[in-house]
Every structure is written in structure tokens, then in C-alpha cells.
Amino acid sequence: MITKKIVIIGGPSTGKSSVINALKAKDFTCFEEISRQVILDARKDGINQLFLEKPLLFSELLLKGREQQFIDAGNSAKEFVFLDRGIPDTVAYMDYVGQDYPEVFTNSCKNNIYDYVFVLAPWKDIYVQDNERYETFEQAQEIHKALLKTYKKYGYKLIDVPFGNIEERINHIINVIKAN
């Protein structure tokens, strides 16, 4: 059996982590977003906003972590593995801020292909800012556009997840993957 790698994408505060946690509760294998941990680790080293202060270093750490998640997902014995963000997210964010990056980033996007990409759109009703999520809702909408553009550039068919409660959202995702 080949494990299907399923990535959940969307701008900040679109419900990705809530969807991942609900899938985990249903005994699906899930990999959480790693950027919060990268940010918290940088703060321990005295860097308040690593993405703003050293965007290339931040992105390199994310790329390394997401590549490892991709490998770990592929080594899973489970039929489906869900990931909160994928490798192309790293490129999308760098494009969003106008950061140049080495070819290793684009090569990683080309060489590590996900089976499904589900998109959670910006949703003002659930949007929250916090210490690690500093973007405004308007910036989150622009990041969302950058994500869509990047994933399309790498040939992905994007599957929209409708607004709704968590159960409705995960049922939509599960129904799509089980129908294919």
C-alpha cells in the first residue's frame, strides 16, 4: 500500500490546526504545522520574529522540517497521512514578502509531491491574531492568494473545503479522499 499524503493549506487562522486535531481524534495520522515551534525556538535564542528578522533562515528551517514530514508521511503504514501545510507553503510565503530564495526551495516543491491539497479559505468569523500569528485578516487574504498561486504553479488540483463546523469540514475531506 502506498500512503496518500494529504496537505491542508490556507492562510493564517483558517482552521487548519482545528481540522488536523479533529482528524487526529478520528485516529488519522497527522503532522502538525511546524512554524510555531520554529518561532518559539528562535525566541529562546533572543529573536522575537524570526520570519521578519531573518526570513531566509526561517524558511530554510521550515523547508527542512516539512521535507522531513514528507519523508515520515511516506514511511507511514497508514493509508492516509494529513499534513498541516506543505513544502510549497514555504515558497508561497517567501513570494508573498518578496524574499529571494535558492533553487533548493523550488526543487523541493518539484520533487516532493502530495496526493491531495485541500484549501481552507480565509474566514473572518474565526480569524484570531496571537503572539505567533501577527498578520491582519487582510494580510491573511493576500497570503491565501499567494498559496493558491504557488500550488497551482506546481500543478496541483486544489480542493476547496467549505465553511462549516469542524465535523462538516473533516467529513468533506474524508468523503473526497475515499471517493477517489
Q: What ranges do the domains of the chain cover?
A: 4-179
Report the DSSP beta bridge partners of residue 84: 8
Q: Quick check: 132 pLDDT over 60?
A: no
Nearest to 170 by CA among 10, 69, 21: 21
DSSP 77: S
Q: What is the pLDDT of residue 84?
A: 96
The CATH superfamily holding the domain 4-179 is P-loop containing nucleotide triphosphate hydrolases (3.40.50.300)
Dihedral of CA 5/11/17/22: which sign? negative
What does the pLDDT read at residue 108?
Answer: 98
Type and span of the H or E element at 118: strand 116-120
- The grid coordinates listed for 9 are 493549506
User: Taking the model in full, what pTM does it have?
Assistant: 0.91
Helix (H) or strand (E) run with residue 33 in it: none
